[in-house]
A and B are shown apart, each in its own frame.
Chain A
Amino acid sequence: MFKTFITVALTVGLLGAPGAVLASDGGELTAVTMAGARADIDVVVIHATKAGAVDPALAGLANTLKRAFKGYVGFQKLDEQRAALDEGASHKLTLANGSELAYKFVGTDAEGFLQVHIEVGGLRSTVRVKDGGTFFQAGRGYQDGMIVLAFRAKLAR
């Protein structure tokens, strides 16, 4: 491990400026710089099916869901959890298909992006999302359809 550290440090040092290029290219995650942030992370658990209709409770997401999940027409809201998370804090819930979802507010970066880490059913990813942005996680089967998770992350004011 020490050798690896020395190697990386030396390589970055020798290459100098291109190290910044590496970061901006996405080769490395830039450091989280804003301390003490707090975010409201809203997770809506949705059952998507190829028959049925859109739950009125999802009216605000209906167009986005149909556009993102072509072939699926039925969207029923199963659960919704809103967690106000301090930087580094996480929240867990059990989904209808038995999987456990854990999501963490990693923090914000210098560009103001919120970093949200999610772990569910073997998928582990961190998403950099703009303040107030929405993204989805989907693909795991449930009954005659699949589970869709809609995440919305917004800095608490």
Chain B
Amino acid sequence: MNCNQVKELLMPFHDGELDPTAAAEVEATLAGCPELQSELAELSLIHAFAADAFAATAPEVDLSGVYGGVMARIAAEDAEAAASPAMIEGVRVQREDAGPGLVERIGAWFNELFRLQRPLTALVAAAAVIALVAGVWFTGSQSNSDGDKVDGGDGFATIDNGAKRRGREGEVAVKNARVEAIASKGEVKVITFDDSDDEPLVLWHVVEGEGVSMPDGNSNGTKGL
């Protein structure tokens, strides 16, 4: 089992849903995956946060910290993604938003909510939080539809603060073609493109050491991938 495989099992591992053998394997692998250890710690913190935030009865729930918590987590994930270097193999995506979408992240957060022992309270709180974040969600949806387009600039994904970053492992590089959408379906990227465009779609999968780099007409720094 490697770090990527463990990542998929992190949530059930955290919740004690794995069988003892799988749990032991995850635990052993985790020792060599510092990033996942941080993620596991974050899961525990969020779980504790959610439990604290919704321990009161529904009418008395104080949601003042919830919105901030959600947004802080999203901001932290964005910052982490912006700082992360290329992880491997040069399989990367050229779009503005290479990380999980806002909806996915809020969905994951709601998943935490429903782990509470008081589901009714959690349900009411979830509905309230939905109302709070709806505006942000719509904003995120709007930007996501734009963000899936190929970056026409130097080829690196662009994030809000103008910094550049590479994609993550498993992402697909799509160059030149006018891509209409890139969606995630499990580990698989689903790519829609307009083949009436002059430039055909190319899915690049470049492995370092094989002597291949993405050809480029504008020296965008793709060498070494």
Contacts and interface: CB of A to CB of B under 8 A. Distances in A.
A136 B141 CA distance: 29
Chain A at the B interface: mostly helix, strand, loop or mixed? mixed
Nearest to A111: B192
Contact of A27 (B89, B103, B180): B103
B191 A125 contact: yes
A146 B114 contact: no
A67 B199 contact: yes
Contact of B130 (A6, A8, A11): A11
B104 interface: yes
Contacts of B195: 129-130, 133-135
Task: Name the prevailing secondary structure of the B interface residues.
Answer: mixed
Interface residues of B, number: 60
A137 B190 CA distance: 14
B183 A141 contact: no
Contacts of A64: 200
A87 B111 CA distance: 34
Contacts of B114: 3, 6-7
A124 interface: yes
Interface in A7-26: 7-8, 10-11, 14-15, 18, 21-22, 24-26
B191 A126 contact: yes
Interface stretch (B38-46, B56-64, B206-214): B206-214
A14 B127 contact: yes
Interface in B183-198: 183-185, 187-193, 195-196, 198
Nearest to A70: B215
A27 B172 contact: no
A117 B181 CA distance: 16
Interface of B: 89-91, 101, 103-104, 106-107, 110-111, 113-115, 123, 126-127, 130, 134, 137-138, 141, 144-145, 148, 172-173, 176-177, 180-185, 187-193, 195-196, 198-207, 210-212, 214-217
Interface of A: 3-4, 6-8, 10-11, 14-15, 18, 21-22, 24-29, 64, 67-72, 113, 115, 117-118, 120-130, 133-141, 144-146
